[in-house]
């Protein structure tokens, strides 16, 4: 959607980036276009969060509960779900499952801002408006929807120390791996 200069917390007016190129830079190498991802070749899928998920993987940043999900993201979510393979989502990414998988249970953390600790608490209402069930969880926790094999954690939806976010993401990954073994 646009590039953010995180040193200023503002959009960079003169810069553009390619999501695939940036993914390769961050992952330091071999990546594949999401259009080529097949549930048949993988045990699970994990979607990282970050506002890019709300801007580039969907239109949630602009359209909220009425968002559209990128067609490849939607296909991957549906394919993994249909195959009974686990899906992990962190931070804002649970809105993707809320939009695509009817009745799914996810967490984006708490439903009240609690003095600024949960600045994006309103996202829980959008999750509910999309037909999903929102489950309140702390930042170090993951919610497991065993029926749908969907695991989510709040991550940066909470203003807290990085090690707490790390713990929650670790809990999500651990649960996804556990579901993949079953």
Give the catalytic positions in this structure.
91
Q: Strands 4-5 and 133-134: what pairing? A: unpaired
Cα Dmax for the chain: 49
Residue with tokens 């749908």: 148
**Residue 24: other Cβ atoms inside 10 A:** 14
Strand partners, 90: 153
Q: Are 39 and 149 in contact (CB under 8 A)?
A: no
């Amino acid at each position: 959607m646009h590039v953010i200069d995180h040193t200023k917390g503002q959009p960079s007016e003169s810069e553009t980036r390619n999501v695939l190129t940036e993914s390769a830079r961050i992952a330091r190498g071999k990546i594949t276009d999401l259009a080529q991802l097949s549930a048949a070749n993988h045990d699970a899928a994990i979607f990282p969060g970050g506002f890019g998920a709300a801007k580039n993987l969907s239109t949630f940043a602009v359209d909220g509960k009425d968002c559209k999900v990128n067609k490849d993201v939607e296909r991957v979510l549906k394919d993994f779900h249909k195959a009974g393979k686990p899906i992990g989502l962190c931070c804002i990414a649970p809105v993707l499952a809320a939009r695509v998988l009817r009745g799914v249970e996810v967490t984006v953390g708490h439903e009240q801002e609690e003095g600024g600790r949960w600045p994006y608490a309103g996202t829980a209402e959008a999750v509910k408006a999309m037909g999903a069930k929102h489950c309140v969880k702390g930042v170090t926790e993951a919610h497991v929807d065993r029926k749908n094999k969907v695991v989510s954690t709040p991550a940066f939806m909470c203003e807290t120390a990085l090690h707490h976010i790390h713990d929650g993401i670790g809990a999500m990954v651990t649960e996804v791996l556990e579901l993949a073994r079953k």
